[in-house]
Amino acid sequence: MIFNLKSKIAININHMNRTLSTETIKKVGETVKLNGWVNNRRNMGKIAFLDLRDRWGIVQVVCVPNELDEKSQAALKDIRPEFVLEIEGMVQARGEKQLNKDLLTGGVEVLAKKIAILAKSETPPFEVANEERQANEELRLKYRYLDLRHERMKKNIILRDKIIRGIRDYLHNEQFIEVETPFLSKSTPEGARDFLVPSRNYPGKFFALPQSPQQYKQMLMIAGMEKYFQIVRCFRDEDQRGDRQAEFTQLDMEMSFIKEEEEILSITEKMVKQVIKKIAGDYQMTFNKFPQIKYDEAMAKYNSDKPDLRKNKDNKNELAFVWVVDFPMFEYKEGDKRWGAAHHPFTAIKDKDLSKLEDKSKMAEIKAKQYDLVLNGNEVAGGSIRTTDPEILKKVFKALNHTEKEIQAQFGHLLEAFKYGVPPHGGIAFGLDRLIAILAGEESIREVMAFPKTSDNRDPLMDSPSEVSQQQLEELGIHFVK
């Protein structure tokens, strides 16, 4: 908004006079200015019909030559699908036989008076107006900006925004604060390979991209933040398998003065229910209250720690949430012939099992205060109460055969922080891409990510990973050995 000081008249210069496609239904008889892409063109003798698409929808534009000025007539001859246009015209009601009940704007059309081509388009490598997946994934990801023009993909991205906005609204209302944590961090063992970032200023030393903000969020509890959350990117350099991505989005939550799981489970369940209600999808909840099933029972009954409890597994709109609790604290790593933490070493142990830490023969019996939220046979969230007692942590590390030197090298910074008044705390983290994919009715998380990688971790759009210059390598002191 700017002000003309002489006339004292306020002039709005932001999107002056632009009408969104869906606003035309309230503007019959008015002149409007539309901006968008040509979704389709149909020629009916001298008259042309353009379906003009913007983010909000599609509106039909009628182009009659004698209604247009000469410049607009000349422009009309060139217009093809995916051209970007600005059109001025009169909104008019369609006749009864011309109604399109499949479109929100199907009761109106715009009689064009002026047409301007803002940008031309070459013929796309696949049809944007065709919602069928006629292009293979490689081609779709190479031209992702075109793929995202598909109505289905646009709806998925909008749904993602609604879900994340709903999460933020709920958590802020519950007095959580959102805190960003670093992407350049320390390499620590968290179950997968780290992405390493060489340091130019400190040759031979490396940062690592975080697999999760686990240690940062625990230090935020020590800092007195009490209720923290973050919508955060996480990075894992894993061998590609299944429906995974090297970088993914996580909802990270942590709460102080929590000793048992129930409070975290309760606040998380309320959040999920509120968000699903807010996005107003056609969903059927299998359970009004999410049931809890112990890990051992799930394995015995369903042979899985991710049981699918839907009544009708062919119904994509059915949502069967279930909590799986009482996970093993340790698991035996056959490849390494040793015991490892099933989740991470800071996971709290069930009080009744603490005495078993002294006996290596009872490692398999020890249960953790760990919990997963499962949806339709998919783990969508997981977390635990944390161990903050240094004496218990020493016993855990000893049980895992860590030397004092290893403990200090990998976790010394966190153990140092524990010396300065650490509250009891616990948390949970959601794999947001998986949750959103299920709510969108999609099989792959790539369908709900704006710019995902291929299944073998490449980016056809940016042609990465790619080689870098010799100068860049020399600055980092890196050379390759064949």
Q: What is the CATH number of the domain that holds 60?
A: 2.40.50.140
Nearest-angstrom CA–CA distance, 292 and 265: 10
Residues 397 and 261 in one domain: yes
Residues 110 and 206 in one domain: no
Residue 135 forms part of a structural domain: no
**Maximum CA extent, the chain:** 92
Domain of 268 in residue numbering reads as 149-448
Res 9: pLDDT:
40
Residues 107 and 154 in one domain: no
Residue 420 forms part of a structural domain: yes
Residue 127 forms part of a structural domain: no
The closest of 234, 220, 194 to 386, measured between CA atoms, is 220
Residue 427 forms part of a structural domain: yes
Residues 213 and 86 in one domain: no
Residues of the chain scoring pLDDT < 70: 1-16, 131, 133, 189-191, 241-242
Classified as helix, coil or strand, 158 is helix
Residue 234 forms part of a structural domain: yes
* Tally of domains within the chain: 2
Q: Last residue of a domain, which of 100, 119, 138?
A: 119
Residue 476 forms part of a structural domain: no
Residues 223 and 88 in one domain: no
Nearest-angstrom CA–CA distance, 396 and 5: 73
Res 3: pLDDT:
43
Residues 267 and 177 in one domain: yes
Residues 92 and 187 in one domain: no
Nearest-angstrom CA–CA distance, 339 and 442: 37
Res 10: pLDDT:
41
* Residue with the two structure tokens 């490396």: 206
Res 63: pLDDT:
98
Radius of gyration of the chain (CA): 28
Q: Considering the entire predicted model, what is its pTM?
A: 0.91
- Please give the full DSSP string across 314-329, using - where no structure is assigned: T-TTEE-EEEEE--BS
Nearest-angstrom CA–CA distance, 143 and 461: 6
Nearest-angstrom CA–CA distance, 480 and 482: 6
Residues 290 and 384 in one domain: yes
Q: Enter the DSSP assignment of 214.
A: H
120-144 pLDDT per residue, tens: 999 999 999 886 767 999 999 999 9
Q: Give helix 261-279 / helix 151-173 axis angle, nearest 10°.
A: 140
- Please give the full DSSP string across 365-400, using - where no structure is assigned: G-BBSEEEEEETTEEEEEEEEBP--HHHHHHHHHHT
Output the CA torsion 295→301→303→307 (10° steps): -70
Residue 467 forms part of a structural domain: no
Residues 210 and 75 in one domain: no
Q: Last residue of a domain, which of 97, 119, 141?
A: 119
Q: Domain with 243 in it: what CATH number?
A: 3.30.930.10
Res 11: pLDDT:
38
Measuring CA to CA, how many Å separate 358 from each of 153, 177, 363, 396?
A: 54, 39, 9, 9
Q: What are phi and psi of 277, to 5 degrees?
A: -65, -35
Residues 55 and 102 in one domain: yes
Residues 333 and 394 in one domain: yes
Which tokens sit at 443?
């099989």
Residues 76 and 208 in one domain: no
Residue 5 forms part of a structural domain: no
